[in-house]
Structure 1
Amino acid sequence: MEKEIIFEDDQIRVIFLKGTSDELVFSFGDLITRAKGSSINAEKSLHKYDFNVVGIMPKQKSWFPEQSMRNMLDSIQPWIAPFSQRIGYGGSMGGYAAIKYSNQLNVQRVVAMVPQYSIDPADVEDKRYNMFYQPDLNQAMKVGAADVAAEREYILIYDPYYAEDRVHIELLKPLLPHAEHLHLPYTNHDAIAVLASSALVHDFLRHPFDASYFYQQMRRVKKNSKFYYRKVIENLLPRHRMALGRILKNNDLKLDSQFFDAKQKQAILRELFSNKQVDQQDLLKLGIEVVLPQEKRSILYDAFGHGLVFNVISQKVESYAPGAIGLNHKFLIPIYAKGNSLAEILWNNQAFIVVMNDRQVMKLIHAEDALPAGTQPLMLRKHADYYAIGYKSLHLSTDEFGAASFIESLDDSSKFMPLPEGAE
């Protein structure tokens, strides 16, 4: 792979990747793919098809300042002059630059994924990027009529439901009334990651624009993108609760354990437990591996008729409707009513107690193990007509949604009634 740095200043580094193509691709980096050695944005995909490439990589979060770009153009003419066919390609900050400098670079096509119109707060309010605006570098940075031309082809790719990006698209529309728009719903700002595919990059750069063709190719790439399904799940879960089960059943996912953060994972698990029977295959698709516990005894019920359990996946005491516990008894382990004692569960025929620290972080330990530093066991306290669970001077309380917290006073929300499992 023949590469050389052909321009550099404090803001950008420009690398020429020699290929055999008739076209020259200007590939712009973004906030994530900033200058690192001689790396180029989308390098693997572009090299695979042997494109000639000028990689324009930002060294700072400064949105390709105009002075740097003018200096660059003066310096790189010997490398770009032989090419009459030119294409601009980039996402986010790179998508902005591909549009903003399309006239100066004299490109015939621009492919811009989730681009900005400007990051100047006087032009558009965008809390994600306004902080990076620097008046001395980014004066008059918004895309203007003098930056673009009707004879150039502009392809804009974005999530039409993501307001933060849509505001930039709406501001670009009057300047680019002839632009083609490709929608990528429920992906927020992550079109670049979702559409990572050498073949798709090739089509974006070379294939004559045909919306049906491009959507067909985008669907093919999305179907094989774990990242796409994560974004769809994140976006659909609050609005379309039953969609998660269909996604799991109809797609062969295998996400790693870090794919969802703890908060996302807890929300997904609650929806699964509340709406369908969860099997181990579903959890493996979500990157969740657990040892399957199983035991039935009398459990405690709260004021809302929900059984008190320890969720071995979220590692929290919670309450669930009896039907959800019955369907998911491998993961929702009852806390047993057994007089004044430690709060205990049985897991793989072994006794575990629930311990917690002052930050209310819970965990299980073997009943025979020493207490971890800074933790105390939850105590099961028997009263005349009910049970309570305590931590120091606090009492465990549950709400109608099954979430548990600790309160100072003992009220109806912290009183639990024993009832044999299956007797509800």
Structure 2
Amino acid sequence: MTPEVVFDGDRLRAVLFRGRSDRTIVTFDYRQDGRDGFTPDSHSTGFARQGFGQLCLKTRANDWYVNDETAALEAVLAGLALGRTQALGFSMGGYGALRFARALRLAQAVVVSPQVSPVAAWDGRYRAEVPGWDEALGALPPLPGLKGLIVFDPFVAEDLVHVRAIRASAPGLTPVRLPFGGHPAIRTLRGAGGMRVVQAEAGARTARGAAIRAAHRAAREGSRGWWLRLGDAAGARHPGCAAAARARAEGLPVRPGDLDGA
């Protein structure tokens, strides 16, 4: 598939890979430690095999897509003819899916551990990355008609409050709770090679969430990160459970992507 650059800014970039079907999957850069520049122009072979087009929205920095090019990108997105659009985003990318949902005319979104804002009063994790945050430009629009899934770990306290705030304006997003999945909540799945399940839900005409829950349950027994997060949550209140969980973790191999940020 040949990439078509539909927006080429200094801070934001949008690349379209046209498919055979009348549906386009929109994906977003997620937050990365040490991000320095745009990611390479590439697409998901899984979505391509199904004939989907893919629109990739990229940001040069961890700025939650909010900068002096945001309005221009939004105008370009609103003018694209993409057929039925569905989005998949993780953390900062989940925020991006919600921020641009109206311009993209999203029919459905699967967002994993998104933020309502990177400077929310209850969350101090990201403020240093967005000095001078423009709250008016970055405010999420009300999305009463948006369907899809909001996937999260209810034991990550900040993420739980973000989900509650987002669902107040986007009640059509069905909550999918993945206990001790971490941030983003699919760490256990990713460590077990289960990302294809998340992509399948994002590409379905109606995302339901049951397959993601089942895959998470299947993956957690062999996940070192899952047991460590369980142990941390049990803590001093349940020392026996915490000790057993940490002992269980010691006997398991480290899976790529499962422990980072655990």
Is the pair's TM-score, using the shorter chain for normalization, greater than 0.5?
A: yes
Structure 2 residue 177 is matched with structure 1 residue 183:
yes
Structure 2 residue 10 is matched with structure 1 residue 10:
yes
**1:203 alignment partner AA:** E
Taking CA–CA contacts closer than 8 Å with sequence separation of 6 or more, which of the two structures ends up with the larger relative contact order?
2
Structure 1 residue 131: Cα displacement: 1.7
Deviations 1:44-74 (A, max 9, x none): 5434544311100111121112653431244
SS state of the match for residue 60, structure 1?
A: coil
Q: Which structure has greater strand proportion?
A: 1
CA distance in 1, matches of 2:204, 2:232: 33
Aligned to 1:204: 202
Name structure 2 gaps, 5 residues minimum: none
What TM-score do the two structures reach when normalised by structure 2?
0.79
Aligned to 2:40: 37
Equivalent residues in 2 for 1:22-421, closer than 5 Å:
22-32=22-32, 35-39=38-42, 43-65=44-66, 68-75=69-76, 80-81=80-81, 83-120=82-119, 123-135=120-132, 137=134, 139-145=136-142, 148=143, 150-196=144-190, 197-206=195-204, 208-222=206-220, 227-229=225-227, 231-236=229-234, 239=238, 240=241, 241-245=243-247, 253-255=252-254
Residues 31 and 212 (structure 1), Cα distance of their counterparts in 2 relative to 1, 3 Å cut: closer
CA distance in 2, matches of 1:19, 1:257: 31
CA contact (8 A) 2:29 2:59 kept: yes
Residues 220 and 19 (structure 1), Cα distance of their counterparts in 2 relative to 1, 3 Å cut: farther
CA distance in 1, matches of 2:2, 2:154: 39
CA distance in 1, matches of 2:104, 2:255: 42
CA distance in 2, matches of 1:6, 1:203: 26
Structure 1 residue 14: Cα displacement: 1.4
**2:94 alignment partner AA:** G
CA contact (8 A) 2:224 2:259 kept: no
Structure 1 residue 230: Cα displacement: 5.0
SS state of the match for residue 53, structure 1?
A: strand
What TM-score do the two structures reach when normalised by structure 1?
0.51
Deviations 1:91-148 (A, max 9, x none): 111101111221121001011110001123xx42421112223436554423242xx2
Give the alignment's Cα RMSD to 1 decimal: 3.3
CA distance in 1, matches of 2:257, 2:173: 38
SS state of the match for residue 69, structure 2?
A: helix
Structure 1 residue 256: Cα displacement: 7.0
Structure 1 residue 77: Cα displacement: 6.3
Structure 1 residue 156: Cα displacement: 0.6
Deviations 1:269-320 (A, max 9, x none): xxxxxxxxxxxxxxxxxxxxxxxxxxxxxxxxxxxxxxxxxxxxxxxxxxxx
CA distance in 2, matches of 1:260, 1:213: 23
CA contact (8 A) 2:188 2:216 kept: no
SS state of the match for residue 96, structure 1?
A: helix
Deviations 1:22-54 (A, max 9, x none): 3111101111296223145xx354345443111
**1:118 alignment partner AA:** S
CA contact (8 A) 1:91 1:114 kept: yes
CA distance in 1, matches of 2:105, 2:177: 26
Residues 258 and 25 (structure 1), Cα distance of their counterparts in 2 relative to 1, 3 Å cut: closer
Q: Which structure has greater helix proportion?
A: 2
Residues 49 and 225 (structure 1), Cα distance of their counterparts in 2 relative to 1, 3 Å cut: farther
Residues 114 and 65 (structure 1), Cα distance of their counterparts in 2 relative to 1, 3 Å cut: same
SS state of the match for residue 20, structure 2?
A: coil
